Structure 1
Amino acid sequence: MLAVQMGICYNQLVHISGQLYNCIIGWEVSIILDKNDFAPLYIQLQRIIREKILNGEYKQGEAIPSESEMMKMFQTTRGTVRKAISMLVTEGLVEQIRGKGTFVRLNPLKYSIWNFGGFTDYLKSRNEVAVSEVLEQTTVNMGGKAYFKLVRARGVKKDTGVLYLTVDTSYLPVSLFPGLERYDFGKESLYNVLRNDYRTYPGRTEITLSPEEVNDKIKEILQVDKKETSLLKAEGVVFDQNNTEIEKVKVVYGPHVEFKIMTNMN
């Protein structure tokens, strides 16, 4: 349990650094999950445990408190604890070992995604399954031209659920790709459709990296704390084999994506 030098108290609520705690006896307190918070209790608990992992309080390779200990620490139910742990397993921050407990992973999962194409192929190379959830699919007008707009949450399938890595927004000219609205891009790869049905092969990209202020919905999808104000964004255009601009795209990256940039100094 969290030890705080605050004197003797008995079953009373106290505030420490703006956080509400329940002082049980003496120096020991338990964090109270806020039932009035917009986020479900298991999400709140997941964020607290994640923060303890990231700040080193729960160290790599070591066991985190048991379900029973968590229930007592956070004054919550076993179901809430199990859901929170399950999400952390999906994130790749912890692993469960039968008969021993839940341990902080020695090497937390990271996904190296540096370009706009090949998301499905990249995960296949890792023997993992790509997942896409369509958030928006419509036709919009930009600069006097009609574009097919597609917004997707993209992630990887895990035993405990889906770990979403990015939120992608694509704009494709209707004049080049009529009929895209007929496809179910929750099941089909956009670039596979372009290659197979439109004989268009995405080639080079031009991108700009910058921070992007994101709303609570995107934070929830990418499992980012609401206190965070911005995430990394890559924005640019994609050209085909004939150097024709075929897509305007914006990708917002979650915390489980890393970039590796190699340069030649010669």
Structure 2
Amino acid sequence: MLEKNSITPIYIQLKNIIKGEIFNGEISQGEMIPSETQLAERYSITRTTVRRALSELVHENLIRKEHGKGTFVSLKPISYSMWNFSSFTDYVQKKGKIPTSKILTAEVVMIDGHEFYRLERARGVKEDDKIQFLTVDTSLIPLDLFPGIMAYDFEKRSLYDVMRREYGIAPNIVEISIKPHIIDQRIAQVFGVKESTPLLMVQGHVSNENNLTVERTQVIYSPNVDFKLVTRINTV
């Protein structure tokens, strides 16, 4: 439902509702969505507001308008295997796509008497000037190992590349746990889904070859991601 008294514009709320229905599978690929008039009547808003919300979705490449026919879902789900935490940037580039990052939080925090740089980013791909976020990554980086690392622009630079090139510390071992996670409104808005949607979350820590922890990490995956785990069984 739309919240008329919310600070979030009505057209953005409507856009997120429709976006959530697409990502949740309530509206399928190629299916026609309700008309501007139907949406205006359903939510008791103007057609101008509806049109603005739909224009945003067209810009994000989630829907397409066909003259004389209607408006249809055009989302093409992105499918990839988990990249074993090597580097999101490297992984996406190897797939021939353009990686993109948006910083959500960047701050210095104290944990158990030690300073950490807390970096939270929405990570995704950019195609035809359209951005689709695939993960929300949160990193806790020990500042005793990486002093001044907050000065780097991690919307443009790869975190692991900075660790390797600027500090001579290579992250190469990861231990993780995987579990479902009920997301809050802030994360829901990034992925365009409903608040309290259960998504997949990975938590763990990354170490170098000397078993020194260089990052504590948490990754929440978009429902539009086909998450795969691949293992190899050795037989004797």
Please tell me the TM-score bracket, short chain as reference: 0.7 to 0.9
Equivalent position of 1:262 in the other structure = 230
Match of 1:109 among 77, 80, 91: 77
Q: Confirm or deny that 1:168 pairs with 2:148.
A: no
* 2:108 is aligned with 1:143: no
- Aligned partner of 1:199 among 152, 165, 168: 168
Scaled by the length of structure 1, the TM-score of the pair is 0.71
Shift of 1:225: 0.8
Say which SS state the counterpart of residue 220 (structure 1) adopts: helix
> For residues 217 and 56 of structure 1, what CA distance do their matches in structure 2 show?
21
- Residue 259 of structure 1 and its aligned partner are, at CA, apart by 0.8
Equivalent residue number for residue 223 of structure 1: 192
Mapping 1:1-266, distance limit 5 Å? 33-37=2-6, 39-50=8-19, 53=22, 58-67=27-36, 70-71=39-40, 74-89=43-58, 93-96=62-65, 101-105=70-74, 108-112=76-80, 114=82, 115-159=84-128, 161-226=130-195, 228=196, 230-264=198-232, 266=235
Q: Name the CA distance, whole Å, in 2 between partners of 1:64 and 1:47.
A: 14
Larger Rg: 1
Instruction: Give yes or no for contact 1:86–1:160 (8 Å, CA) kept in 2.
Output: no
Shift of 1:240: 2.1
Unaligned runs of 5+ in 2: none
The amino acid of 1:217's aligned partner reads: R
CA contact (8 A) 2:63 2:73 kept: yes
CA contact (8 A) 1:87 1:160 kept: no
Instruction: Report the more deviating stretch, 140-149 or 199-208.
Output: 140-149
Structure 1 portions without partners, runs of 5+? 1-18, 20-32
AA aligned to 1:257 is: V
Provide the rounded CA distance (Å) in 2 between the counterparts of 1:55 and 1:143: 40
Q: How far apart are the structure 2 equivalents of 1:44 and 1:211?
A: 25
Q: CA deviation at 1:206?
A: 0.9
> 3-state DSSP class of the match of 1:248?
strand
Which deviates the most, 48-57 or 242-251? 48-57
Question: 1:29 — aligned with what?
Answer: none
Structure 2 contact 139–217 (Cα < 8 Å) conserved: yes
State the aligned residue count.
Answer: 233
Match in the other structure for 1:23: none
Structure 1 distance, partners of 2:117, 2:22, is: 42
Offset, 1:234: 0.6
Report the TM-score when normalising by structure 2: 0.78
Other structure's SS at 1:192 match? helix
Higher relative contact order (CA 8 A, sep 6+): 2
Over aligned residue pairs, what C-alpha RMSD do you find?
3.2
